[in-house]
Structure 1
Amino acid sequence: MERKKRKKGMYREGHPYKKGKEQKGRAFHLVGDKPIYEVGGFISKDEFKEYRANFKKCNPFKPEQFENVGGHLFGLGEVMKLISQPGCHGIRIYYGLKRVKKKFHPQLMIVGVYKDGADMTDHTLILDASMPCPDYCDPT
Structure 2
Amino acid sequence: MSESKKRPIPADTGAFISLEEMNVLTDNHDAEFAAQKSFGQHVKAICFGRDKIIELLDQPGAVALRIYYGLKIDTDGDGIKEKKMVLVAVDEEGNDILPPSAEQAKAAAAAGIQSKELSAKILDAGVPCPTFCSGGKGGKL
Q: Relative to structure 1, is the Cα distance of residues 64 and 43 closer, same or farther in structure 2, using a 3 angstrom cutoff?
A: closer
**Structure that is richer in strand per residue:** 1
Identity of matched residues, %:
28
Q: Matches of residues 20-59 of structure 1 in structure 2 within 5 Å?
A: 29=8, 35-59=9-33
SS in 2 for 1:103: coil
Q: Structure 1: which 5+ runs fail to align? A: 1-10, 19-28, 30-34
Superposition RMSD on alpha carbons, in Å? 2.5
Tell me: higher relative CO, structure 1 or 2? Use CA pairs within 8 A at least 6 residues apart: 2
The normalised TM-score by structure 1 is: 0.71
Gaps of 5+ in 2: 100-116
Q: How many residue pairs get matched?
A: 114
Amino acid at match of 2:45: G
Q: 1:87 to 1:61 in 2, by over 3 A?
A: farther
- Assess, with a 3 A threshold, how the Cα gap between structure 1 residues 91 and 133 changes in structure 2: closer, same or farther: same
Does 2:67 align with 1:76? Answer: no
Point out the structure with the larger helix share. Answer: 2
Q: Deviations over 1:27-85 (max 9, x none)?
A: xx2xxxxx421210100000001111111111176469882111111100110000000
TM-score calculated relative to the size of structure 2:
0.71
Partners of 1:88 and 1:112 within 8 A in 2: yes
